[in-house]
Amino acid sequence: MLKACLVCALLTAAALPVATTAAEPAAAGVDAARGLAHGLVEQLGARLQAAIETGGPSGAVGVCAHEAPAIAGELSRRNGTKITRVSLKTRNPLLGTPDAWEQAVLVAFEERLARGEPIAWIEFAEVVREPAGEYLRYMKALPVQALCLGCHGAPESIDPKVRARLQQDYPADRATGYRLGQIRGAISVKQPR
Ligand code: HEC
């Protein structure tokens, strides 16, 4: 069910125009970036779902901890791009800390959600120039769904076994206390041009 929801959310987003700024990215580039983000969400959703069905939430911690970065790494290598998961409240600061551009986009995503924009439509693309070259940058908001609460919900609602594992592995965890429909973070794609 997770998979179906995420996929339909992304497909809905795909039909909509992307907000752009002065440096407008070509539509084909945005479609490719969106496709990569979609691929990561789909693969990850399927793995999480399967792991929770067999081992419960505590059995699925490893999927988010090891498989998510591995899948993102493989997609990045195969596509010559960088695809990551970022958040304003990280669990793993090494992989999940947004850079300045990503922070600004995540803050804007929060404002768009507060103004009533449907979360499934919230994405942003822009071409940015940096010292090392030009990049197409794309981000897609990740909604908090029921499945996420088992590891990102209110601490007292998290299964004690999962909580203990999270406390041990992530002493600086800031990624709990989320409610359904909030933005947990985003998939971020950075493609050299
Ligand atoms: C079984 C537990 C579990 C579930 C369920 C889970 N997560 Fe996570 N999540 C984690 C762990 C563990 C990490 C840290 C991964 C790492 O070490 O890089 C994480 C990290 C993340 C990150 C990367 C940013 C950060 O905080 O470090 C995002 C984004 C994220 N999760 C979103 C979600 C969303 C959206 C859902 C629901 C669709 C979800 N997670 C469900 C355990 C879980």
Q: Please, which residues have CB within 8 angstroms of residue 155's CB and are 6 or more apart in sequence?
A: 163, 176, 177
Ligand 1 contacts CB of residue 183 (under 6 A): no
Domains held by the chain: number: 1
Q: Tell me, in angstroms, the distance from the centre of ligand 1 to residue 90's CA.
A: 9
Range of the domain at 100: 2-192
Residue 189, SS3 per DSSP = strand
Residue 171: both structure tokens together: 């002493």
Contact 184, 152 (CB under 8 A): yes
Residue nearest to atom 32 of ligand 1 (CA): 184
Distance 21 CA to ligand 1 centre (A): 30
pTM: 0.88
| pLDDT the model gives residue 62 | 83
Residue 133 CA, ligand 1 centroid: distance in Å: 31
Q: Which two tokens stand for residue 96?
A: 């999940």
Closest residue by Cα to atom 9, ligand 1, is: 64
Per the prediction, the chain carries an average pLDDT of 88
Cα(110) to ligand 1 centroid in Å equals 19
Least confident of 56-60, 109-113, 163-167: 56-60
Query: 120 near 12, Cβ under 8 Å?
Result: yes
Give the tens place of pLDDT for each residue, 126-166.
999 999 999 999 999 999 999 899 999 999 999 999 999 99
pLDDT at 23: 67
Six token digits for residue 88: 């304003």
Percent of the chain whose pLDDT exceeds 70: 88
